[in-house]
Every structure is written in structure tokens, then in C-alpha cells.
Amino acid sequence: MSQFTAQDHHYMTLAINLAANGMYTTTPNPNVGCVLVNNGEIVGQGYHKKAGEGHAEVNALAEAQDKAQGAVAYVTLEPCSHTGRTGPCAVALVEAGVSKVIAAMVDPNPAVSGKGLAILNQAGIETAFGLMQTQAEALNRGFLKRMRTGMPFIQCKLAASLDGKTALKNGDSKWITGPQARAQVQDYRSKSCAILTGADTILVDNAKMNVRYAELLEPPFPAEQLRQPIRVVVDSKHRLKPDLAFFQINSPIIILTTDLENNHHWPHYVQHLVVKELNGFVDLTDACQQLGKLGVNQLWLEAGHTLAGKFAELALVDEFIFYLAPKLIGASGQSLLQLPVLESMDQVYDLAIDEVSLIDSDLKIVASPKRV
């Protein structure tokens, strides 16, 4: 937009880069960055790191101190208007005496959208928004979707051979993809609010589904700062027991079930979440809505062909991430997704390819459901 200068773009780029520092930790809050510029000098920079800690604006104002007076504030998201664990950022900006606030985007929550900017305007501070909105939205796909729809942004990871097989006939799948692709999966897990899988994966593979720090490629934080995402498992038939490896790791777990009938003694970090039933199984749409209510912005789905297929069939997946290894397994191998049998080609589930890259010798394909 012509209302913004090259300098504005420069500072907003800085703010977006700052915001990205929070991507492993801010859940359930959004990633936000703020840069304060006074007479061409950067006087304060801040980003939101963790729920319960300072917001980006507050952190930047703390750095700027007196120099915030008269400064232009570049923020990647509209300053908040509510008093949560911290006071409203819009008020803090007013009190600090900034002259202008440029926000990349307004708040995605329809209930509060525009209120922060209104507080600023009422205090006589000039405001503008929409600068680099696309890039700012990319910081918070999960948060934005949850604010707009109540549902998490759901990424479905699928790993297979080039001929679309996830495992041999006998179930052996270690390893289809190479170490770099697997490290990238660890990184995706660590950026997610929650990782969702099915009871089969836990039972058959004895999978833990946690983030393994040692496998991350260049983690931008020390091991002790690793946040384990909530691990969520669908267990419609009460097949899980506390002695499985999955339950030995002390970090939040949610078991999705249709009723609470079960006699096991579960660790304190295991929560049962009762969701609606659909055809004798957990209603996945209701499950996702409930996870949204619990603050899950970004949900990483890593499941077998039945559960992954069900998510696809219900149009719950926002993004498919395929890792295709340069191998051939043949028709006897296990298929990627269980989907309803189709009668004609015009019924197929259409995707659009968003990104293709080589991860070492594996092919990565990011695709999203085609909007019609």
C-alpha cells in the first residue's frame, strides 16, 4: 500500500523476525514482535516469548524507556485492549507517549478486533494497519484460525515411499525417510501446540510422540527450555493402558474418548477429554473444537492411515506435509490414507501444491485442500 514507506517495511520486517523468536513457546498466545523507532533510531525491540510473560509492546517499551516518547511503534498484530495476565498494550503505548502505531494486521478475534487501535486513536495517536499483513499472518496461522473459527490449524504429516507406501506389508517402517526429514518432523512437533495421534500408533509402535531435543536440527534454545507440546491420543475403545511408553514421559497428555469408563490409574499429567461420539468412535470435529477451546492453535497430526484418512475425509486438515523417500515398496505395502471408496474421478479429494523441496534425499511436498 502506498501509505507505507520503504523504511516502514524495513522496521516491520524486523518486528516480524522478532516475533518469530516466540514460535516454539508462545502457545496459546500468538507470536508478536514490536520495534520502536524514534527519529530514525531503533530505541526498543521486543517480542512475546511465553504466555504469562511480557507482551511484545511491553518488552519493547521497557527497552526504550524515555525514548518511547514520540516514537513510532511497529507491531505485527494490533495491540491488545484487554487486561489479561498483563495490562492492555494499547494503554501502555498511550502512556509511553508514542506518536504513531503501525500494525501489520488487526486482531483476528472478531470480538476485540479494532479495539486496541480505537484506544490509541482516542488518545490522539495516529494508527495504520495492513503493512506486510501476509507475512504477519504467516506467523500465526494457528492462532488466527482458532480466533476466527474456534478450530486449530491442523497439519497432517505423511511419510511414504515414492509409490505411496508408509510401511512394508509386515508393518516395518523404520526408517522410510532419512534423518534430516525426521529432524524436520521433530521441529514441526516442537512448534505445535499439540500433537495428535491414534491409539494404534501408540499400541503398535509403542510411540512416545514427544519432541526429542537431540534430534532437532540447530534448535534455537537450550534443552532445558524445550516445551513439550500437549500429546493428544484418540482412544475410542479404551485400549490404552498407563504402562505404555507414551505415558512414561511427564508432560501433558489428553486422551480423547467418548466416555470416562475406565479403571486404570493414570499419571497426573494425563487428562481424559470426553467428546461426542460418531458411529461408535470419537467425533473428530468435536474433538478439534474442544482442543481449540483449550487453546490449541496449531495441531500436528501424525497418525496411521485410518485416523489420518478420517481427518482428511472430514475436511479437518489445513495442510498436508508429505515426505516421500526415494524408494519403492510395491503394492503389498501399507497405503497412506484410508478414504471412502470413490465411484468417479470427479469425487477425488483435490489438493493444491504449495511447496516442493528436497530434504537431503527425500522429497517434501506441502499441499493444502483446494478451495473451490
Backbone angles phi, psi at 319, to 5 degrees: -155, 130
The tally of CA atoms less than 13 A away on the side-chain side of residue 361 is: 9
Quote the cell numbers at residue 151: 478450530
189-197, 212-220, 262-270, 344-352 -> range binding its own copies (CB under 8 A): 344-352
Q: At what angle do helices 56-64 and 6-20 cross, to 10 degrees?
A: 110
Quote the cell numbers at residue 204: 503398535
Q: Is 362 annotated as a binding residue?
A: no
Residue type, 125: I
Q: Is 48 annotated as a binding residue?
A: no
Concatenated DSSP letters of 44-75: EEEE--STTS--HHHHHHHHHGGGGTTPEEEE
Please tell me whether residue 276 binds its own copies under the rule CB under 8 A: no
Q: Is 173 annotated as a binding residue?
A: yes
Q: Is the previous residue joined to 175 through a cis bond, with omega within 30 degrees of 0? A: yes
Please tell me whether residue 174 binds its own copies under the rule CB under 8 A: yes
Please tell me the distance from the alpha carbon of residue 295 to that of residue 124, in angstroms, as a whole number. Answer: 34
Please tell me whether residue 341 binds its own copies under the rule CB under 8 A: yes
Query: Grid coordinates 508408509 are at which residue?
Result: 166
Please tell me whether residue 198 binds its own copies under the rule CB under 8 A: no
Shortest distance in whole angstroms from residue 275 CB to its own copies: 24
Burial class (CB in 10 A: 0-12, 13-18, 19+), 87: middle
Nearer of residues 251 and 347 to its own copies, judged by Cβ? 347
Please tell me whether residue 312 binds its own copies under the rule CB under 8 A: yes
DSSP category for residue 227: P
Shortest distance in whole angstroms from residue 208 CB to its own copies: 20
The one among 130, 164, 252, 295 contacting its own copies by CB under 8 A: 164
Please tell me whether residue 162 binds its own copies under the rule CB under 8 A: yes
Q: Is 51 annotated as a binding residue?
A: no
Shortest distance in whole angstroms from residue 258 CB to its own copies: 25
44-52, 231-239, 253-261, 322-330 -> range binding its own copies (CB under 8 A): 322-330
The one among 6, 111, 343, 372 contacting its own copies by CB under 8 A: 343
- Cα–Cα nearest to 309, from 198, 167, 232: 198
Q: Which residues bind its own copies (CB under 8 A)?
A: 158, 160-165, 168-170, 172-176, 305, 309, 312, 320, 322, 324, 326-333, 335-345, 348-353, 356, 358, 361, 363, 365, 367, 370
Name the residues annotated as catalytic.
57
